[in-house]
Chain A
Amino acid sequence: QLQLQESGPGLVKPSETLSLTCTVSGGSISSSSYYWGWIRQPPGKGLEWIGSIYYSGSTYYNPSLKSRVTISVDTSKNQFSLKLSSVTAADTAVYYCARMYGDYVNDAFDIWGQGTMVTVSS
């Protein structure tokens, strides 16, 4: 069955760029009606949607992070990636990648990666 796996550094210095990749296995990232998203969760807190991308490259970002976020897709590798620039301690969180079914009726994030903890610290 389809699985998602996040990868990337677990420690990032303040002011630098956080970079994560999500590898999709057991299915194609190019499937129609599916979007691919990033969601984060600071320690002990709730969930925050960061942004989503369609395999064609169309992106949708949270305005609260838009100036610092770039999400891209590499269909040849079945991967999508997150870059978050100028990080601070407030960006310390577990970062999840997830698949979203999007037919404008039954939309939901139905498959999630296990999550990866990213700490921002010098």
Chain B
Amino acid sequence: IQLTQSPSFLSASVGDRVTITCRASQGISSYLAWYQQKPGKAPKLLIYAASTLQSGVPSRFSGSGSGTEFTLTISSLQPEDFATYYCQQLNSYPFTFGPGTKVDIK
């Protein structure tokens, strides 16, 4: 199952609402997770089951979607949110990741 993400790069300001889209090449129900990765660090789980917020993750992060189209929304971008975001499908093996969306400071 192939995942695409759009945009691949996003320039935004603190306080902006940001939306990242992940599309799957075939239906994956809600078996989708979102991760945040900062340079030199391991990915951090943000969202699982498409819309469930991982414990400890700020509520400004939210996820939605099912089937083939999913979104990750950051309601008000904070300085610590500048990072690369990856979606991952866990519907079937082999698990695959999207190519990533880098969120940079405008």
Contact = CB atoms under 8 A, between A and B. Distances in A.
- The answer to whether A and B belong to the same complex is yes
Interface of A: 46-49, 52, 60-64, 96, 98, 100-101, 105-110, 112-115
B54 interface: yes
Chain B interface residue count: which class? 20 to 34
Interface of B is mostly: loop
A60 B93 contact: yes
A105 B93 CA distance: 15
A106 B52 contact: yes
Interface string B83-95: 0001010100111
B99 interface: yes
Interface in B78-106: 86, 88, 90, 93-100
A113 B44 CA distance: 10
Interface of B: 31, 33, 35, 41-45, 48-49, 52, 54, 86, 88, 90, 93-100
A121 to B, nearest CB: 21
Contact of B42 (A46, A48, A114): A114
A61 B48 CA distance: 22
Contact of A49 (B45, B48, B97): B97
B95 A49 contact: yes
A63 B86 contact: no
Contacts of B33: 107-109
Contact of B49 (A46, A49, A105): A105
Interface centre among A48, A49, A108 (most CB of B within 10 A): A108
B48 A107 contact: yes
Contact of A113 (B42, B94, B98): B42
Given A46-B86, A106-B48, A96 B94 contact: no
